[in-house]
Chains A and B, each alone.
Chain A
Amino acid sequence: QKEVEQNSGPLSVPEGAIASLNCTYSDRGSQSFFWYRQYSGKSPELIMSIYSNGDKEDGRFTAQLNKASQYVSLLIRDSQPSDSATYLCAVTTSGTYKYIFGTGTRLKVLA
């Protein structure tokens, strides 16, 4: 079982729709969770971080964390073509160096 799993996609959504990206992780001791966006040929950039159960909203983005079920998700409301990118989920445990990255979900927002 992979430590952090994401559906590779592509996930295609029409412009203006909600895109839902999911990530599951295997280490129950994980404490910090991150969503990064990576455009083709560019480096990952932070979208959201979340540390406790529940929802965290930032503009059009909402991160959801459920530690009991070991999943974290990212919702993108009012999706725009500029949101088309690969979204990486990253998980880490406090006190360790280890950030585990998923392989990413490719999102395509269709105009």
Chain B
Amino acid sequence: NAGVTQTPKFRILKIGQSMTLQCAQDMNHNYMYWYRQDPGMGLKLIYYSVGAGITDKGEVPNGYNVSRSTTEDFPLRLELAAPSQTSVYFCASSETSGNTIYFGEGSWLTVV
């Protein structure tokens, strides 16, 4: 039972570098999300998708981009990494809106 799979789990980036966080789910869920969680803070929505080819911004989209070419995959692209992007990133999915949201194991990103 893979559920939501994220890679990499840990990454150190230098300021100005770019990278992609990968996310895949095998539950055939329509909705997928990217959250970031800073220490002592709640989960902040970066981007979400309601189906293949459809994405939209959440609360904190600046500095990030997403794509959703298939139901299963929802990669998050960080362009020109900044120290403010040091955080834990969680990918999540749900069958529809209002249903239980399932999280991946997280990706710990440090920008130095």
Contacts and interface: CB of A to CB of B under 8 A. Distances in A.
Interface of A: 4, 8, 31-32, 34, 42-46, 49, 88, 90, 92-99, 101-104
A97 B50 CA distance: 8
28 contacts: A8-B40, A32-B98, A32-B99, A34-B100, A34-B101, A42-B105, A43-B103, A43-B104, A43-B105, A43-B106, A44-B43, A44-B90, A45-B103, A46-B102, A88-B42, A88-B43, A90-B101, A93-B97, A93-B98, A94-B98, A96-B98, A97-B31, A97-B33, A97-B56, A99-B33, A99-B45, A103-B40, A103-B42
A88 B101 CA distance: 13
Q: Main secondary structure on chain A at its contact with chain B?
A: loop
Q: Which residue, A98, A99, A102, has most C-beta atoms of chain B within 10 A?
A: A99
A95 B42 contact: no
Nearest to A92: B98
A103 B45 CA distance: 13
